[in-house]
A and B are shown apart, each in its own frame.
Chain A
């Protein structure tokens, strides 16, 4: 853990407000934070995450009310929630990569297409003939390399992340169509197909991988130099550069990390659907960005948590599940998702506006 990175984010990120509301200060300054620790800025992510937990509890209560036979019965609830977690695994892993990119002030629109490319490349007849090990290696390598290409275009080609990753979004989808010939590549490799069926101590393997990636992401963001640098770059890239951070190299690493997450997710989706396809990961970029945003990650960078992103993914996946078990149509689900995004962002806006106002005396 390095304090310098943190200090840069603070000093550079919100210079006018540093004295009243430090952006990333961990220990609250006694007497300064409005309303003590709870009302202060340091606890903001915690409060937001508790809000998301509240949304999940609300969704659960709706479930209990609408389908008591599932949500009020131990065994069926367990089975249902494991299904929700399994279906959340692939988009969850991608959202974790996206969270890093967004905290650094960037965006990765290519994640869905990179997932498709990795899944197609790893399920061609030739790759399948080499066995499961090479298939997994191929998916991870294709994702990471394509992600690094994003990073190189952005860092050394000086392209805006939105444009560079949009170019890869289109190109990677095209390449995966070219490789697959627009056919569904059915996986005949049992080891790969079995990943989605395997349970360890009653927990599906995909859920465990998702948990492991989330834990690794949390440690990387909160307990390593890499993570603090990411926050610093997002807070103020120029200050971060002056503080001695190799901005370009760090950006390449960040997008490669996002690409690696796409590779992991590609293996998950391939295993779940027993096939690779250039259709896989359709609109994943939007789902991942939406989940990260409701989890409190700022599009402007410098702000975001892994826990928030995971909760954001779970909220969306749980909504899908709730609509299907209640036999409701997809339209309503899309409307509900839109409403949640608007609600979450509005809360964020009001909070920022409140921060800009001077603290009321005596608060």
Chain B
């Protein structure tokens, strides 16, 4: 070796210094601090008798956690809504990776004897027995969104309307393409094996049928940004001219919009699904083919906590004549366009 030790150590020192500063830079890059956005619209307490603090109740909560804006918004909203009440104690149990894990988590929750349980199941059918067990232990169960296979397993079902969401998207597109019988209409679905995807697609198909229109191209993504980009890039090759696209899910929509931009296509208009903040901002700005989105609001988690409190305290809904909270609430899917987007912006969730 021709180098002197002195050379070597200086070189090592330099290398070490470079590595160290690179490491420091990398460490500095993990921060995600963002200006806090107000989400005043996603939680709410009423006024009147029901708002007044009552008996202190414990509400148990379990929902899957996934890398998905909507799912995350569900848990965030539930937590924040519970924090608004001075008479609610909030206990969350992790739903684990799959339905059996959530069943196990629920058993420990039942042991703690909360006054009510709000449950978004990993899978409605597989969690039905666990819901029943809680009800038999005298704990009212509020079944959130994914429905049990037996109505007796819950005190209240509050869910979004997947069929109605597809129907609303179909109505919007149908009204704009009325009479154009050869219209090319593409559908970008989410995970195809989920019942919710099938419901959405059925609603979309049924609504289009009333205008004598049909889906000409259908692809399914995975509710992820990357899969949205991938299927859309190929979809745009499949049809050289498209009139309208409905994308089921605004989270994967980030990738869908990227693929549209990369292909520089703008001959069509697009409708989204769910109602994320990002999508609402695009609708407001009008900078993409995205014209509208049909909602599937994660604020249902906030409502579920509010209703769980009333049920646990034995109160009813003050505007209804009945003394108790109803057994089933299905949220309407609303259509957000440029005209009404300002009203909905506070409800938008970050994807």
Contacts and interface: CB of A to CB of B under 8 A. Distances in A.
Contact of A277 (B192, B218, B226, B350): B226
Nearest to B254: A275
Nearest to A325: B238
Contact of B217 (A86, A127, A180, A327): A327
B32 A273 contact: no
Interface in B237-254: 237-238, 240, 251, 254
Given A87-B234, A182-B68, A278-B67, A327 B226 contact: no
Interface in A110-135: 121-122, 124-127, 130, 134
A230 interface: no
Interface stretch (B22-30, B81-89, B119-127, B128-136): B22-30
Interface in A318-339: 320-321, 324-327, 329-331
Contacts of B224: 277, 279-280, 282
A193 interface: yes
Name which of A83, A138, A275 has the most chain B CB atoms within 10 A of its CB.
A275
Contacts of A279: 67, 224-226
Interface string B67-99: 111001000000000000000000000000000
Label chain B's interface by main secondary structure.
helix
B217 A273 contact: no
B220 A330 contact: yes
Interface stretch (A26-34, A183-191, A207-215, A244-252): A183-191
Interface size class of A (residues with CB under 8 A): 35 or more
B308 interface: no
Interface string B17-47: 0000010011011111110000000000000
Contact of B225 (A184, A197, A320, A329): A184
Contacts of B235: 324
Contacts of A186: 254, 278, 351
B258 interface: yes
Given A126-B28, A185-B32, A273 B233 contact: no
A321 B237 contact: yes
B219 to A, nearest CB: 6
B228 A273 contact: yes
Name which of B66, B216, B224, B263 has the most chain A CB atoms within 10 A of its CB.
B224
B65 interface: yes
Label chain A's interface by main secondary structure.
helix
B226 A182 contact: no
Contact of B69 (A126, A183, A326): A183
Given A70-B237, A130-B29, A183-B69, A330 B192 contact: yes
A273 B65 contact: no
A68 interface: no
A273 B32 CA distance: 19
Nearest to B225: A273
Contacts of B278: 186
A269 B217 contact: no
A121 B29 contact: yes
B261 interface: yes
Contacts of A70: 237-238
A125 B231 CA distance: 28
A119 to B, nearest CB: 9
Nearest to A321: B234
A121 B26 contact: yes
Interface string B199-238: 0000000000000000011111010111111110111111
B237 A83 contact: yes
B261 A182 contact: no
Contacts of B192: 329-331
Interface of A: 67, 70, 76, 79-80, 83, 86-87, 121-122, 124-127, 130, 134, 137-138, 141-142, 177, 179-186, 193, 196-197, 269, 272-275, 277-282, 320-321, 324-327, 329-331
26 contacts: A70-B237, A76-B240, A83-B233, A87-B230, A87-B233, A121-B26, A124-B31, A126-B29, A127-B29, A141-B26, A179-B32, A183-B350, A184-B251, A193-B258, A269-B226, A273-B226, A274-B257, A274-B258, A279-B226, A281-B226, A320-B230, A321-B237, A325-B238, A326-B238, A327-B218, A327-B238
Given A182-B68, A330-B192, 13 more contacts: A70-B238, A76-B237, A125-B34, A184-B69, A184-B254, A184-B351, A272-B226, A274-B254, A275-B225, A275-B258, A278-B67, A282-B226, A325-B234
